[in-house]
Amino acid sequence: MSQDLFRAARAVRERAYAPYSRYKVGCAIRAASGAIYVGANVENAAYPQGNCAETSAIAQMIAAGETRIVEVAVIGTGNLLCTPCGGCRQRLREFAGDEVKIRLCLDGAVKRTVTLGKLLPLSFGPDHLGGRPADEADAAAVIAKRALRIKPRAVLILGSGLGPVADAVEGAVAIPYKDLPGFPRPSISGHAGRLVLGKLGGVPVAAMQGRVHLYEGSSTDAMTAPLRLFRRMGAKTLVVTNAAGGLHADWPPGTLMAIADQINLTGKSPLTGPNDDSVGPRFPDMTEAYDPKLRRAWKAAAKKAKVAIEEGVYLSVPGPSYETPAEIRAFRRLGADAVGMSTVMEVIAARHAGYRCAGLSIITNLAAGLSKAPLDHKEVIAAGRSGARRLVHLISAFLEETGG
């Protein structure tokens, strides 16, 4: 399998521009799509200024719109193995996990294989910053090691103040997001930042206790990556929860609302950029963003859990400022029943990946202009917390009802 990579590296080496050192290097990178990108070293008269072969190959890959490296081959001149230089090890690490194999080649064949992590034992990857799309394999390995027997069927995303739902998970194994490459790093209060695996309502779940929002400056990759990972692990259902402002004067704080549909006014999409065809189609359908069967299941679950529930449309704004009364009046005309700063990115990413989605808002306050009181995040968190108990009953009953 690595023969094609070896041959590509050897062929491109011949085109290296190395008149000063006379040491030609070729590099071939296999990206996530399977495509191979090649590069040779380029020197100039200010030698040792110039580009390494690996840097050139990375540039080709980026220009083609790819960002994930799965295998690398490097070949130098003569009969000593050529390894990526210190700078290139770090450059590769930007786009590859520690486990990625580096094939060190001589003229005849691949002579040695090492992992990038071995070459760069104390690597500093973008996953340390929570930035790059998940190094999915790394995160999957951590989950497999700590929660061996749990294969989540449903993913729960717990919004502001709703973290306590995760405390009801049975047989829970908790993993801080910081141990999971590519997972988000929530920066605001009310969002713990850990993954809790276990069972709720008899269904194996992955509960994300804390999420990131656009207003934190978070990339949408940090929202998308965990969903893609759980989907590949076999999860089929996404249950999103959030704290929201209510657009109905007669919905007091604490009202629960099953989400019937959504309006994305953030001006963003998590699917901007090259499409990963292995995840879903370029133009995913959003007609049934919230699964009709699951919407009905909320009603049955509410009856079972003996809690009242409304149904309505959730509209998302980028935040972080709360809305003006004029905006709220406009949103009402657009058909919204609740307003918040989360959820829509996750549901778009989830539908793209083939999840069926269910959503639940807890109305933590009357939206701007519907009451005299100014809006305050502390009250949102407090109202979320005080509703969390009912939410636990409702979500457990929902999972029992649907089987996840």
Q: Which of 2, 56, 342, 361 is catalytic?
A: 342
342 is catalytic: yes
Q: Which of 51, 191, 368, 397 is catalytic?
A: 191
Q: What are the CA-CA distances from residue 317 to residues 202, 214, 328, 343, 384 (Å)?
A: 35, 9, 11, 10, 19
Under rule CB under 6 A, residue 380 binds ligand HPA: yes
**β-strand partners of 314:** 262, 338
Under rule CB under 6 A, residue 150 binds ligand HPA: no
Under rule CB under 6 A, residue 243 binds ligand HPA: yes
Tokens of 341: 């700063």
Under rule CB under 6 A, residue 214 binds ligand HPA: no
Least distance in angstroms from the C-beta of 209 to ligand HPA: 18
Q: Using CB atoms within 10 A of its CB, is residue 170 exposed (0-12), middle (13-18) or buried (19+)?
A: exposed
Closest by CA to 403, choosing from 202, 236, 240, is 202
Region from 25-33, 124-132, 256-264, 359-367 binding ligand HPA, contact rule CB under 6 A: 359-367
377 is catalytic: yes
Cα 322 versus chain centre, distance: 25
Residue among 339 and 348 whose Cβ is closer to ligand HPA? 339
- E strands along 222-344, which residues? 237-246, 256-264, 310-316, 338-340
Q: Which of 147, 258, 341, 388 is catalytic?
A: 341
278 is catalytic: no
Local structure of 252: helix, strand or coil: coil
257 is catalytic: no
Under rule CB under 6 A, residue 240 binds ligand HPA: no
Under rule CB under 6 A, residue 70 binds ligand HPA: no
| Contact (CB, 8 A) for 98 and 123 | yes
Residue among 181 and 245 whose Cβ is closer to ligand HPA? 245
CB neighbours of 298 closer than 8 A, spacing ≥ 6?
Answer: 258, 309, 311, 358, 360, 394, 398
Least distance in angstroms from the C-beta of 162 to ligand HPA: 11
47 is catalytic: no
> What kind and span of H or E run contains 175?
strand 170-176
Least distance in angstroms from the C-beta of 327 to ligand HPA: 9
Residue among 127, 216, 323, 337 that touches ligand HPA (CB under 6 A):
323
Least distance in angstroms from the C-beta of 41 to ligand HPA: 53
Closest by CA to 95, choosing from 147, 146, 51, 131, is 131
Under rule CB under 6 A, residue 216 binds ligand HPA: no
Q: How many residues bind ligand HPA (CB under 6 A)?
A: 13
Under rule CB under 6 A, residue 186 binds ligand HPA: no
What gap in Å lies between CA 67 and CA 310, rounded to an integer? 43
Q: Which of 160, 242, 316, 361 is catalytic?
A: 160
Under rule CB under 6 A, residue 203 binds ligand HPA: no
Question: What is the DSSP code string of 179-221?
Answer: GSTT-----STT---EEEEEEETTEEEEEEE----GGGT--TH
Residue among 229, 244, 347, 353 that touches ligand HPA (CB under 6 A):
244
What gap in Å lies between CA 389 and CA 192, rounded to an integer? 17
What gap in Å lies between CA 4 and CA 30, rounded to an integer? 10
Q: Which of 20, 33, 269, 377 is catalytic?
A: 377
Under rule CB under 6 A, residue 367 binds ligand HPA: yes
Least distance in angstroms from the C-beta of 242 to ligand HPA: 7
Under rule CB under 6 A, residue 166 binds ligand HPA: no
Under rule CB under 6 A, residue 190 binds ligand HPA: no
365 is catalytic: yes
Integer-rounded Cα Rg, in Å, for the chain is 25
Region from 66-74, 107-115, 242-250, 329-337 binding ligand HPA, contact rule CB under 6 A: 242-250
Task: Check the CA dihedral 59-61-64-66 and report its sign.
Answer: negative
What gap in Å lies between CA 305 and CA 299, rounded to an integer? 10
191 is catalytic: yes
Q: Which of 213, 222, 338, 358 is catalytic?
A: 213
20 is catalytic: no
Give the interface with ligand HPA as residue ranges (CB under 6 A): 243-245, 322-323, 339-341, 364-365, 367, 375, 380
Report, as residue numbers or ranges, the catalytic residues: 160, 191, 213, 215-216, 243, 341-342, 365, 377
